[in-house]
Amino acid sequence: MRELGSVCLRCRVRLLIASRTRARRGISSYSGTAAVEADQEDGQLQNEGWVGPPTPTPRGPLGDAQPTTPTPIPRHVPSSRQSSSLAMFQSIVENQARAPSISGVQGPGTASIELVKDVAKIQTMLEREGASIAAAYSYFEEIVYPQIAKPGTVVPQIVKNQIAGVLLNQLALEKPRDFDMNHLPSVSRITEIMVELDVLRPSAWATLVIELIQHIYRQKTVPDAYSSIKDYENAMARRDALLRDLVGAWRVFCEQRATAQGNSSLKAREAGHIKPKAFREDGKPQQRPPLQEAFGAIFPQYMLQSLARATFAAFATYKLLTDPVNRTRSVKGEATQFLQMMKGLIFQARPPHRNDFGTIFDTFPDLPRFVWPTRQGNNGGNAFMDSASVFGEKSEQLRVSVHRQLGDAIKGRNLGLVNKAWLEFWGDAPVPDAARITELAKYPEMFDYFILAYTMMRRFQQAFGVWNSMERIGIKATIKTWNSMLQGCVKANNAPGIKAVWDKLIRSGTKLDIAIWTARIHGLFICGEPQAGLRALDEMAKIWAARGDPRYAAIAVQPTVEPVNAALAGLLRLKRDSDATNVLAWAAKHGIDPDIYTFNTLLRPLVRRGDMKGIDEIFDTMRSINIRADVATFTVLLEGTLNHIGDLPPEQQVALVERILSAMKSSGIEINMQTYAKILHLLLREGDRAGEPVKAVLGHIWRRGLELSSHIYTMLAEHYFSRDPPDAAAVTALIENRRLHENRGIDRVFWERVIKGYAQAGELQRALDIFDRVFVSGTTITLSTLHDLLKPLVAVGDVGAAKRLVEAARKIGKADGGDAAGGEGRRYWRHRFWHLAYEQGLMGEQLAERFRQANAGPL
């Protein structure tokens, strides 16, 4: 029999596909006893290595249309200055479908004529059979909108109305089918265009907003509804994005108030600062207006009768954003102005009743149970003040708080924070009272999370303590509980722990699934036991083949591509191609089909080596079995293609980046902010040599009407500070031009990096200004950043600013563990920041004494 190791990796891929085809035709089958015999013939798989995720990367939205025959692109020989990466990418993308190039906007003097023609073209596009509203909108953004937005351009109202009738109204109808796919513009963007063109019709626009609200309410927020923490976090992130879109749409709509407000009293009443009169001048009770009338008073440009749906949409949004179960901190800052406006309106209007919106509920029958809960308590019809019981609200807030603490503890491997979170969650009694047990029983996934945290810190007794506690109050351990303990061992790099947990799991009689088998195989590779991982893969198949044996009833699971991918990634990472072919042969023999993650795994080493022939064969194989590239595929290609892009001339750099974006778009890949961030990260590694393509990517983002993420802003700031000398002025311009102080989405990491950069560049006043504006109010800041700012203040002798920094740090420290007893508190006070402050005499006597006590004894 031919040695498997002598077959190259690319040939093994072809054999895998051929075997797959034969199996479908019924030529051969490997199952039952035959599979066991074939395993014995091939022998044990003895290989080493693995680092990588155990489950396949989910495919992104690929669209409905199948790729057409690609337009041939003339081949040319790269110049001597072109990198092999460029040649690699050109060879790859010429086999991908490409959208035809679109000419730019016509020059001055012909804009109005061209605009009319281009608007008419949109209508023509949509009248064709199989028309795509997404394609029409793309044409609008790329060709029509730049003409409208061009300074000095006056667009006739008839043209605006035509755009609304042909495109915008259709978008409002189609978007509800696309909330989760992002092929169409966001609701915020649709609103922006409608307002800018003065074609927003409140009833139609509000219908779109209500559809979005209903869609958000229907999202499952219970972790148990998702198979993994990753899926849960992805779903919550997507829900946060939808909430931001909702808040963004209201922000744009409410900006119209600026032209309607003429006095400060109305603004103050909106914010709830002026109490409406309880009695009229004749002494009779003052009748408060309906909410719709109060809402219409601040938008007088619209007919009051047309605002019924908009009023309900505003009220339903208010309920969603203030509901303790459904609200999220991710939009808290962005929603502040809208919530203040609604509080003011609700305060001055009579409480809304269900009957006020009866016709709307006929169209949206699901919404009443969210907007008006069945249980209304003593508030009667005024249920918007009582969407959950006080205890229920506190328990949900407690769960969110504890979940966040645990996440921070796991990232920092902080055992003290885990103990603190457990005490907060369970309580200080050995057994909680009946009411607390009822609430704890709603969150079984939290117990699994604690078990994961304790196990990864090798605190097995405490992990089993959590296990016993959950069973004590009637919560049974599930396969997810076992998986949490297994994953904890993996994070602790504890191979013996994996074996011990697996043995206990088998003895427990729990029914296994593919996730737990994959986690075991993945974990053994991670923990440096590749041979044990491959034996586990082989064991899985043999147990499945013998599943008729009652001994294997609970543990027999049919092998799938997930554990194969886990083993394959580990072997390729160790550059053991010949061993990887054995795994591919094993998969083919057992009738396991490859998926996109398999091919992405195979591509990675080929891209690193620049193996053009191998890459082409992988893509040919993918096309032959109708597997399309996904975001991860392009991420692999990006890492190879953009390597050393700075060696190319600027025009070639820009062309290469544009080809990447075009190829992704034509392949049906949604280019999200994470993808943009990846591209920018790879480009910024080249420093200023890649300045032109960086600008091209930023322009691509802004043309789509998107806001840069905090992560991207941080990368840009770090790029400017890394120049020699540091370009602090560029960072200042970035902050001021993009109004980042007003952007609630900018996180603490960005501002800390800016403070450090300014301090290192000698811009101490700017660093202090950022600190005073962002952190002095009590927002947490790391002691490392404080030290980097304090050190230059001491060097220049600014004692006043230094003392102010120390005092602010003391207040911030209360939320950062500074008052904690034991080792956690002592570690806080032993940071170099406090040593520097003490040495320079910047502490008061009480603070200095606290510092001396913490540093007196051993940690």
Chain-centroid distance of CA 76 in Å reads 40
The whole-number pLDDT of residue 454 equals: 94
**Nearest alpha-carbon partner for 444 in 409, 399, 487:** 399
The whole-number pLDDT of residue 253 equals: 92
The whole-number pLDDT of residue 49 equals: 30
The whole-number pLDDT of residue 110 equals: 37
The whole-number pLDDT of residue 489 equals: 93
The whole-number pLDDT of residue 625 equals: 82
Decide: helix, strand or coil at residue 285.
Answer: strand
Spatial CB neighbours of 184, under 8 Å, sequence gap ≥ 6: 133, 134, 137, 171, 174, 175, 178
Chunked into runs of 10 residues, the chain (859 residues) has average pLDDT values of 46 57 41 34 31 33 32 37 43 40 38 77 83 88 86 80 87 86 88 91 91 86 60 73 90 74 40 41 61 88 88 89 67 81 83 76 76 49 33 60 83 86 84 83 90 92 91 90 92 91 92 92 87 91 92 92 88 76 86 88 80 78 83 79 80 83 77 86 86 85 82 92 91 88 86 94 93 76 90 93 87 57 66 92 88 74
Q: Cα separation of 314 and 212, whole Å?
A: 12
The whole-number pLDDT of residue 233 equals: 62
- Burial of 62 from C-beta contacts in 10 A (0-12 / 13-18 / 19+): middle
DSSP 63: -
The whole-number pLDDT of residue 384 equals: 33
The whole-number pLDDT of residue 408 equals: 82
- Burial of 637 from C-beta contacts in 10 A (0-12 / 13-18 / 19+): buried
Spatial CB neighbours of 74, under 8 Å, sequence gap ≥ 6: none
CA-to-CA separations, 548 to 34, 535, 540, 542, in angstroms, rounded: 15, 21, 14, 11
